[in-house]
């Protein structure tokens, strides 16, 4: 009856009946080369690991504030042209749209009036200054003319600044000075080179002054805003590394928040992404994306990375299987951390061992005497 149970177990594992017999003595499993091949066991060298994964946490990909711009219109008006769409790459100064603005016409009229008033005040002051030298008028009259002249300079500069704030370039203003011809459209231009993240209007939309039209960002640098659980607050420090799960993206923690979110008892940590590791032309992470990260710390301890398929558990302990010319030695190890591609372990190794990297469950069964056959 016991032989039948053993054969059923072996069949369940998908094993063949071996000849000659395989057996385990203490912490050693004896296998012939044929048995090794039949089991489909793969071996590999230990891969040194310089980092220990600590814990995972949710995070969000964001743009640094200095690289994120909302592009708005300085004056109320009617949007008559929209040039850029979400995702477009734009250069600094590139035209994004046009807005017809009656308020811009008013500003230009005020500017020309201020220029005219300045010319008159300048002529009056020069005349009174000459008459004062000739003794025709008093010094008081000259001083009054000088005061009006200074006030006119201030009014003209203010009107000119308002035109520049409205989007008119020095060349536009110079042309207005020389021709007196008004411009009715505000040119909305990109303040930086980057990508269009949002478009808030379409052609034909009436907008108020300072209404947002676009959001443009420079994506050369991205951050991760990480919600660190309160139980792990004492485990992290500035300079710790994080890795975005299921990607090659790594980042470094540069800021740790000084307050705890009362709603979820987390602190906000900021990590600067080192390399977005694009696949072809597609980035691995995108602005606004919610991801899961793993916090990783440097270690001076000799640690190794091993696939989970090469690790066995028994009675609360963890083991790996070291290849020997006659089979496998069983060695106890400690798991220091887990990653998506395996676990980080420590143990008594020279570093040159051939380790079973798969079928640990099968080897465990043979070790415990569950899969031996006659």
Asked if 223 and 64 count as a contact pair (C-beta separation under 8 A), the reply is yes
Going by C-alpha positions, the residue among 304, 280, 314, 315 that lies closest to residue 354 is 304
Going by C-alpha positions, the residue among 119, 82, 123, 78 that lies closest to residue 101 is 78
Asked if 67 and 192 count as a contact pair (C-beta separation under 8 A), the reply is yes
In this structure, how many other beta carbons lie within 10 angstroms of the beta carbon of residue 40? 11
CA 285 – CA 277 distance, rounded (Å): 9
C-beta contacts of 161-170 below 8 A and 24+ residues apart? 162/107, 162/110, 162/111, 163/107, 163/108, 163/111, 165/74, 166/74, 166/75, 166/101, 166/103, 166/104, 166/107, 167/73, 167/74, 167/104, 168/104, 168/108
CA 121 – CA 114 distance, rounded (Å): 10
pLDDT at 269: 94
Asked if 354 and 323 count as a contact pair (C-beta separation under 8 A), the reply is yes
pLDDT at 26: 77
Going by C-alpha positions, the residue among 258, 283, 286, 284 that lies closest to residue 270 is 258
Going by C-alpha positions, the residue among 326, 328, 344 that lies closest to residue 336 is 344
pTM of the model: 0.66
Query: Of 60 and 280, which is predicted with more confidence?
Result: 60
pLDDT (average), residues 157-182: 91
Q: Is the pLDDT of residue 245 over 90?
A: no
Integer distance in angstroms from the first to the last C-alpha of the chain? 14
**Which DSSP string corresponds to 288-350?**
T-EEEEEEEEEEEEEEEEE-GGG-EEETTEEEEEEEETTEEEEEEEEEEEEETTEEEEE-S--
pLDDT at 340: 67
Question: pLDDT-based confidence at 338, cuts 50/70/90?
Answer: confident
CA 275 – CA 220 distance, rounded (Å): 10
pLDDT at 14: 44
Going by C-alpha positions, the residue among 276, 371, 345, 285 that lies closest to residue 29 is 371
pLDDT at 147: 94
Q: What confidence tens digit (pLDDT) does each residue in 308-337 have?
A: 888 999 988 999 999 988 889 999 998 887
pLDDT (average), residues 77-90: 95
Q: Is the pLDDT of residue 53 over 70?
A: yes
């Amino acid at each position: 009856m016991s032989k039948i149970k053993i054969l059923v177990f072996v069949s369940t594992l998908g094993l063949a009946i071996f000849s000659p017999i395989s057996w385990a003595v203490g912490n050693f499993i004896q296998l012939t080369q044929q048995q090794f091949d039949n089991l489909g066991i793969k071996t590999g060298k230990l891969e040194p690991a310089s980092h220990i994964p600590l814990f995972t946490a949710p995070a969000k990909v964001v743009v640094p504030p200095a690289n994120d711009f909302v592009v708005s219109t300085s004056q109320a008006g009617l949007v008559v042209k929209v040039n850029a769409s979400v995702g477009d790459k734009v250069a600094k100064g590139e035209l994004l749209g046009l807005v017809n603005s009656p308020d811009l016409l008013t500003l230009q009229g005020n500017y020309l009036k201020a220029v005219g008033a300045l010319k008159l005040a300048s002529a009056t002051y020069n005349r009174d200054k000459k008459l004062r030298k000739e003794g025709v008028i008093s010094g008081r009259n000259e001083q009054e003319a000088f005061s009006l002249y200074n006030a006119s300079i201030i009014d003209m500069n203010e009107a000119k600044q308002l035109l520049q704030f409205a989007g008119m370039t020095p060349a536009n203003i110079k042309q207005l000075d020389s021709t007196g011809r008004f411009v009715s459209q505000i040119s909305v231009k990109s303040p930086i080179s980057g990508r269009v993240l949002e478009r808030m209007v379409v052609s034909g939309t009436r907008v108020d002054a300072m209404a947002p039209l676009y959001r443009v960002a420079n994506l050369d640098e991205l951050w991760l805003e990480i919600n660190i659980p309160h139980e792990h607050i004492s485990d992290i420090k500035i300079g710790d590394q994080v890795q975005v799960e299921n990607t090659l993206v790594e980042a470094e923690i540069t800021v740790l928040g000084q307050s705890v979110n009362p709603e979820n008892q987390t602190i906000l940590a900021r990590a600067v992404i080192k390399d977005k590791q694009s696949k072809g032309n597609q980035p691995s992470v995108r602005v606004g994306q919610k991801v899961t990260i793993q916090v990783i710390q440097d270690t001076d301890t000799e640690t190794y990375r091993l696939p989970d398929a090469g690790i066995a558990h028994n009675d609360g302990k963890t083991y790996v299987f070291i290849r020997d010319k006659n089979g496998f030695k069983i060695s106890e190890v400690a798991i220091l951390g887990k990653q998506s591609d395996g676990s980080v372990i420590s143990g008594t190794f020279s570093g040159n061992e051939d380790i079973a990297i798969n079928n640990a469950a099968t080897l465990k069964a043979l070790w415990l005497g569950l899969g031996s056959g006659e």
